[in-house]
Amino acid sequence: MTTVSTQFVPLTADEFRTRLREALDIYVEAMRYPPGTAEQRAPMWLTHALRDGWRCYAALDADGTMLGIAYGYRGNPGQWWHEQVRRGLVKSSGEETAARWLADYFELTEIHVRPRNQAAGIGENLLRRLLAQVPNRHVLLSTPEGPSRAWKLYRRMGFADVLRDYHFAGDPRPFAILGRTLPLEHAAE
């Protein structure tokens, strides 16, 4: 359960830029990335905040310290992730499957909770708030393969396999692409 003192707030693009360092620190810690990763990701995250349909939620403790972050936007042809996933889907399942999933989707780009604050309902609350009233037909995300708290959350929320054991350019780890229809109210309870 989420602690009573946790607040979930939408962030504007300006607020996101102001708190970018804090959000990237959560990302690096949660993903166990090496030092220096935040500096590499910062320009990309700032560019994401300019995309069509971008929205963001943060989880804050009583002092205003960020405990978690989630953001995403409307996926479109020409975006790096869209093109990578499209290529993988066409190869594994054909053009029709790729078109069905990628025609109208919200890309859940990032969702991270500080490890010491995980398993308290923060991730689920961020996910539900971020996806509430998203007008797209589907939501898609990528996550490293293997058992994790994130996997359990996505399964509990009704995400299904779209593409498994996919390797993004520049990352040696296998990823799963998961998706589900929207609205989220249809998630398994």
Residues serving a catalytic function are 154
Which two tokens mark 66? 């960020």
CA gap 158, 153 in Å, rounded: 9
In the three-class reduction of DSSP (H, G, I as helix; E, B as strand; rest coil), residue 47 is classed as: helix
CA 25 to chain CA mean position, Å: 16
Query: What is the H or E stretch that residue 131 is in?
Result: helix 122-131
Q: From CA 73, how far away is CA 53, in angstroms rounded?
A: 5
Q: Token digits for 132?
A: 């509430």
- The pair of structure tokens assigned to 27 is 């990302």
